Amino acid sequence: MKQLLPILAALVLIAACGQPSFQADEQAIRAVMADQEKAWDAGDVRAFMDGYADSVCFIGSRGRTCGREAVTANYLKTYPDKAAMGDLSFTQLEVLPAGTDHAWCTGRWTISRADTVGGGFSLLWVRTAQGWRILRDHSY
């Protein structure tokens, strides 16, 4: 039995090393969200939209909009200038793997301006050739 312990320990170590870590993916997703905050705070909706996949669907209180250009148009209509955009912050982020090429992220959003607004979100992320992008955005 004592002879098996080192072998079992080695097998466990090998198995653990063979598992890909989600830590780098989570950091990459959080970096995209940090870039989105910066773009929003600069009043740049188009740069903010860089975090979205071309086939994104946004689901909010006014319904569902699909396609990056349509979602961009909605943002531009709702937030026509820097004053309307205010300062965006994401908090209470939780990022969880959903297979090898997808991840879920939930959290809270706040736009600080004269009438501060906020809510929650659930994002489905997809790994693309350009990096991690939001495929589904359910904000409320």
Report phi then psi at 117, rounded to 5.
-125, 160
Instruction: Report percent pLDDT > 70 for the chain.
Output: 86
| Helix, strand, or coil (residue 78) | helix
Q: Domain ranges for the chain, please list them.
A: 21-139
What are the distances in angstroms from CA 89 to CA 34, 64, 76? 9, 23, 19
pTM: 0.84
Sheet containing strand 63-66, strands side by side = 63-66, 52-60, 131-139, 117-128, 102-112, 87-97
Q: What is the mean pLDDT of residues 104-116?
A: 97
Q: What is the pLDDT of residue 36?
A: 98
Q: What is the pLDDT of residue 6?
A: 46
CB neighbour list of residue 41: distance below 8 Å, 6 or more residues apart? 85, 87, 88
pLDDT: which is higher, 76 or 19: 76
Q: Which helix (H) or strand (E) holds 70?
A: helix 68-78
What are the distances in angstroms from CA 113 to CA 45, 75, 86, 110, 140? 16, 16, 5, 10, 18
- What's the pLDDT tens digit per position in 8-40? 344 344 334 444 689 999 999 999 999 999 999
Domain at 21-139: CATH code: 3.10.450.50
| Helix, strand, or coil (residue 72) | helix
Q: What is the pLDDT of residue 21?
A: 86
Q: What is the pLDDT of residue 12?
A: 40
